[in-house]
Amino acid sequence: MVRDVRMRGFADRADLEEVEAFLDRHVRTLPSESVPLLDCFERVLSEPIKSEVDVPSFPRSAMDGYALRGEETFGASDYDGIRFDVIGTSLPGAPFLSRVAPGQAVRIMTGAPVPEGADVVVMAEVCEESEGGEAVLVSEAVPPKKNVGVVGEDIQRGDLILSPGRRLRPQDAGVLASVGRASIPCVRRPKVRLLVTGDELLPAGSMPGGVHIVDSNSVVLRGLLARDGAEVLPFEILPDVPEMIRGVMAANDSDVVLVSGGSSVGQEDHAPRLLAELGTLDFHGISMRPSSPAGIGRIEERFVFLLPGNPVSCLAAYEFFAGPTLRRLGGRSGRWPHRRVRLPLARKIVSSIGRTDYVRVAIEDKMVRPIATSGASILSSTVRASGAVIVPREQEGMGEGEEVEVLLYDDELGSSEFDQKEKVESP
Ligand code: AMP
Ligand code: MG
């Protein structure tokens, strides 16, 4: 077979919105799995959780003090204390086992069961225990139920505690623990196969040298994948050899395949053809900048994203297409996860109608400054940037002074101690 090594440009590029609509139609939340309680933080709940128990399951003291009958303290004051016989002690996990009769009190600690017969805990600060510990003088009237946590005060049996779709916070996991759950039904995390291609690439951790560069895309992708709750399968860098790329692409062991590099129409760009052969290449070439040579397709149930090798393109193509897909597979929102701010532009942004632009910007003095280097190969531009502005397809650009929305790369803008120190020390 004669290999066709001619290069063809993109005949026709799809609009970003077409790709998004396609993903909307095809992406479904993955099925549920049972997750050990201690691993459920940040996982997405797949079923409603109701409590099978009351918390607390016993009347519980909210104070260190004395458990007794509240009505018997009526009339007590600083000048006229009321005396009770102390008949024992109730500690957390070690209750006082008999009943408190009229005129009696039980010494009690926070979290300990309130003994039968008692209906209040009088706090230690308004009590004075006799030297031998056989009696206590109460100098304040306490209304019934005071300082007693009733059964189910926190959670009642049958209560709906958490609803499906919830991304579990640390305190959610805590509540699940307190109602006795050991395993939690969660949406399965999407499994991702990274397919990093390029004859010029050295594995991350190597020193670049000669004509070789270090694979940075997989490092960036791993960070983004961790943020988006995906599970990354082990991978190796592949040379631009079609048979090898095909082998990995065909493996039925993931929900999403991310191909880095070789996505365009160059001589060594095999991924689009291989995807079309193994499944469908639903889109190839998108009206956007950077990332226009991106591709999207499917092989059976798997989504395959062809991410251009240029580092900024790779990042942008991930953020626009792969990220939302992975989050939705994992039961999260497809929205961009970045915090946003609206600020005026210090300089205009030039784009063109019909193309969506992903513009790296710096924020300085509450103004948004587009970063001059627009080249998709300049990864350091994303390090200098505070975030990105998306110029929609129907806009020709954005004018100086116009208020724009910035998707921030960081949750907090320059608020760390390190940043402050830098500011103080700089002239
Ligand atoms: P490609 O999309 O394979 O044509 O690559 C476009 C540019 O991105 C070339 O300069 C590549 O050397 C570079 N590149 C490809 N893969 C990576 C990678 N994993 N990390 C960093 N740069 C890459
Ligand atoms: Mg390449």
User: Which tens digits make up the pLDDT trace of 298-347?
Assistant: 999 999 999 999 999 999 999 999 999 999 999 999 999 999 999 999 99
β-pairing verdict for 191-196 and 231-232: parallel
- Confirm whether 9 is domain-assigned: yes
Phi and psi, residue 172, nearest 5°: -65, -45
β-pairing verdict for 356-364 and 349-350: unpaired
Quote the pLDDT of residue 360. Answer: 96
Gap between the Cα atoms of 122 and 66, Å rounded: 5
**CATH number assigned to the domain comprising residue 295:** 3.40.980.10
Q: Does residue 309 sit in the same domain as residue 208?
A: yes
Tokens of 169: 């916070």
Number of domains in the chain: 4
Q: Does residue 115 sit in the same domain as residue 208?
A: no
Q: Does residue 199 sit in the same domain as residue 315?
A: yes
β-pairing verdict for 191-196 and 256-260: parallel
Quote the pLDDT of residue 7. Answer: 61
Q: Does residue 312 sit in the same domain as residue 230?
A: yes
Give residues (CB < 6 A) around ligand 1: 196, 198, 200-201, 213, 215-217, 260-264, 266, 308-311, 377
Exposure string over 331-348, b if 16+ CB within 10 A, otherwise e: bbebeebbeebebebbee
CA of 304 to the centre of ligand 2 (A): 17
- The 8-class DSSP code of residue 111 comes to T
Could you report the per-residue pLDDT of 140-166, keeping only the tens digit for each? Answer: 999 999 999 999 999 999 999 999 999
Q: Does residue 42 sit in the same domain as residue 67?
A: no
Which is it for the CA torsion 362, 368, 373, 378, positive or negative?
Answer: positive
- Confirm whether 167 is domain-assigned: yes
CA of 200 to the centre of ligand 1 (A): 8
Nearest protein CA to atom 10 of ligand 1, as residue: 310
CA of 309 to the centre of ligand 1 (A): 3
The residue segments making up the domain with residue 45 are 32-55+153-187
pTM: 0.91
Gap between the Cα atoms of 27 and 33, Å rounded: 18
Mean pLDDT over 59-69 rounds to 98
Residue to substitute in 7, 201, 238, 381 for testing ligand 1 pocket (most ligand atoms within 8 angstroms of CB): 201
Q: Does residue 223 sit in the same domain as residue 255?
A: yes
Within 8 A by CB and 6+ apart from 60, the residues are 111, 112, 113, 114, 148, 149, 153
Q: Does residue 14 sit in the same domain as residue 137?
A: no
Name beta bridge partners: 120: 68
Could you report the per-residue pLDDT of 103-136, keeping only the tens digit for each? Answer: 999 999 999 999 999 999 999 999 999 999 999 9
Q: Does residue 344 sit in the same domain as residue 355?
A: yes
**CATH number assigned to the domain comprising residue 117:** 2.170.190.11
Q: Does residue 194 sit in the same domain as residue 165?
A: no
Collapsing DSSP to helix, strand or coil, 143 comes out as coil
CA of 139 to the centre of ligand 1 (A): 79
- Confirm whether 335 is domain-assigned: no
Angle at 35 between CA 175 and CA 41, to 5 degrees: 50
Whole-angstrom CA distances from 365 to 37, 346, 348, 423 are 45, 10, 16, 13
Residue to substitute in 218, 235, 310, 381 for testing ligand 1 pocket (most ligand atoms within 8 angstroms of CB): 310
Give the largest Cα separation in the chain, rounded.
108
CA of 314 to the centre of ligand 1 (A): 9
- Confirm whether 364 is domain-assigned: yes
Place of tokens 């190969």: 377
Q: Does residue 81 sit in the same domain as residue 106?
A: yes
Could you report the per-residue pLDDT of 238-268, keeping only the tens digit for each? Answer: 999 999 999 999 999 999 999 999 999 999 9
Gap between the Cα atoms of 392 and 396, Å rounded: 8
Q: Does residue 181 sit in the same domain as residue 206?
A: no
Nearest protein CA to atom 17 of ligand 1, as residue: 309
